[in-house]
Amino acid sequence: MTTIAVLISLQSYATAQVTNSQPNFSQVSPQVESNPLPLRSNIPNYSERKRRLLLKLQHPIQPIIPNTSKQEIHLLLKLNERKLYVYRGDSLQASYPVAIGKPGWETPTGKFKIIHMVQNPAWENPFVPNREIVPPRSSNNPLGERWIGFWTDGKDEIGFHGTPSVKSVGQAVSHGCVRMYNKDVRKLYEFVEIGTPVLVTK
């Protein structure tokens, strides 16, 4: 409040200075004519002083440092090997065994990006009329503990996820998704972010 009061006083003073700076030529003395008052005050105008005050009152902005380590991560899924490789630049960081799509439901190949990430997802059964929903953290949830989507046609989505069916890992048994052990998909979740590149090859 003290700062604002000072600014109001300064504004009044500045207004008086600017008003008095216009000489009355009918009453001006020779001495004033030889040394005229300045037409503009050196005091900053109201909007400039207001801007400076706001800058003083604002909390300092902390810079956001990008996570370059995650930006360098990319994934390589080799379907024939049934393995997922995690690279940082050219350096291999980790590899995990996976289950892939069965005949007729093959996992799509190509270049993709991570588009969706969920911890402890719920699962909606697309193959039954009443769309049964399995809640998060359920021991029989087909998506396990993490969901990392990388492909969609606008209706369905394919991604990496955990599984309660540990014996299926290493097989071609899914409806296109990439199953992983829960312990592995938790680690993968920490490596990636939305936008991480994914290359799927035969």
Which residues are known catalytic residues?
A: 161, 177
* 175 CB burial (10 A radius; 0-12, 13-18, 19+): middle
Tokens for 112, please give them: 């993709």
Helix (H) or strand (E) holding 71: helix 68-71
Query: Is the Cα dihedral 105, 106, 109, 112 positive or negative?
Result: positive
From residue 51, alpha-carbon distances to 56, 123, 184 in Å are 9, 53, 53
